[in-house]
Amino acid sequence: MKPTEQRVQQLPHLVRLLMLLTAAVVLVLVVVVTRIYGPVGAPAPTVVANEATDGPPPPGSYHRPATPAPDTALIPRTAAGRRIRYGRELIASTAQYLGPAGSVAHLTNGMNCQNCHLQAGTQGFANNYLAVAATYPKLRARSGQVEGIEKRVNDCLVRSLNGQALADSSREMRAMVAYIKWLGQGIPKGQKVYGTGFMQLAYLDRATDPVIGKAVFAGKCQSCHGPEGQGQPLADGRGYQYPPLWGPHSYNDGAGLFRVTNFAKYVKAAMPYGATFDHPQLTDKQAWDVAAFVNSQPRPHLSASHDWPDIGQKPVDYPFGPYADAFSVRQHKYGPWQPIEAAHPAKNK
């Protein structure tokens, strides 16, 4: 082959190289331009699981990061945005506004929503709110009614904060609902994203044990929550640095956390403070037994005889009869739950 012929053959290669380069430059430009001028607001999170169809995440899948919440810096500087910010503030510092010395009203026990819904409901599996907007209104077996977000928030005000309900039209309720909806933006109706609610925790093959749990409490919880579980009030008396775990100022026995399974799933992913679902600090056994201990201690009582109108729908660990089965109140409260579940193969857990 003569040298000139060789040069002619190389030409298409050069052209191809140039085209590739141009394509790469265009791609980079498109990415940069959409970053800068793209739609404001957080990108829609990817939906990874729909519990109704896919079931809960399989064991061992708790290592990838939870779906992040939208960036609070993107809350618009408008009246609607101010409402969202106020809602977030109410959830983070409830006692300052609605507690025994609250600046707006005196409705609640001095705890904050955020005590149980960490980082204003955004921390992965720490009772996270991201799925709420997409999954309410929904039929809840506890009340036998279709509940909107307002009813669900009031449930926690009356039970978890042992307080009084807010009117749906109140400024505070509208703000909290606005914040919760803002958190769930972009998540398709009916779907959950990875990291919402609680994580799954395998049952022990024995009953949970309050006596072992007491030792776990002394070693791992008491330093903050106090020897009597009474918590540590803030110096200004408007709330707590460390919230109470039992006693007159804690959640009442109608609250979700009073169920041993909920408590165990929460503390496994969240306590001692600083723990996360992917870096837990308690073994499963410690989480179960400390849950049994704390929920065996005295706390306010809620008269909730209208709960679970269909007794067959009561969760296996619901600690109040009557039941649709012959298992004792004690076994319902502390387990073992496998035999109860086996007796109700189709029942909601």
Instruction: State how far the Cα of 326 lies from the Cα of 329, in Å rounded to an integer.
Output: 9
CB of 180 to ligand HEC, least distance (A): 6
Longest Cα separation, the chain: 99
Beta carbon nearer to ligand HEC, 94 or 122: 94
CB of 14 to ligand HEC, least distance (A): 59
Q: What are phi and psi of 128, to 5 degrees?
A: -80, 140
Beta carbon nearer to ligand HEC, 215 or 224: 224
CB of 86 to ligand HEC, least distance (A): 13
HSE (side-chain half, CA atoms, 13 Å) at 271 = 27
Beta carbon nearer to ligand HEC, 191 or 262: 262
Instruction: State how far the Cα of 204 lies from the Cα of 290, in Å rounded to an integer.
Output: 13
CB of 230 to ligand HEC, least distance (A): 10
CB of 269 to ligand HEC, least distance (A): 11
Beta carbon nearer to ligand HEC, 38 or 248: 248
Torsion sign, CA atoms 125, 127, 130, 135: positive
Beta carbon nearer to ligand HEC, 180 or 193: 180
CB of 138 to ligand HEC, least distance (A): 8
CB of 18 to ligand HEC, least distance (A): 54
Beta carbon nearer to ligand HEC, 67 or 94: 94
Q: Distances in Å between the alpha carbon of 320 and those of 259, 301, 333?
A: 10, 12, 8
Instruction: State how far the Cα of 118 lies from the Cα of 131, in Å rounded to an integer.
Output: 15
CB of 165 to ligand HEC, least distance (A): 10
Contact in structure between 312 and 97 (CB atoms under 8 Å): no
The residues that touch ligand HEC, with contacts defined as CB under 6 A, are 91, 94, 111-118, 127, 129, 131-132, 152-153, 156-157, 160-161, 176, 180, 197, 220-221, 223-225, 242-245, 251, 255-257, 262, 267, 271-273, 282, 290, 294
Beta carbon nearer to ligand HEC, 237 or 273: 273
Burial of 246: CB neighbours in 10 Å, binned 0-12, 13-18, 19+: buried
Instruction: State how far the Cα of 32 lies from the Cα of 5, in Å rounded to an integer.
Output: 42
Beta carbon nearer to ligand HEC, 141 or 207: 141
Name which of 149, 73, 77, 144 is nearest 113 in CA terms. Answer: 149
Can you spell out the DSSP letters for 232-296? EE-TTSSSEEE--SSSTTS--TTSGGGSHHHHHHHHHHHTTBTBBTTB--S-HHHHHHHHHHHTT
Helix/strand/coil for 171: helix
Token pair, residue 126, equals 């720490």
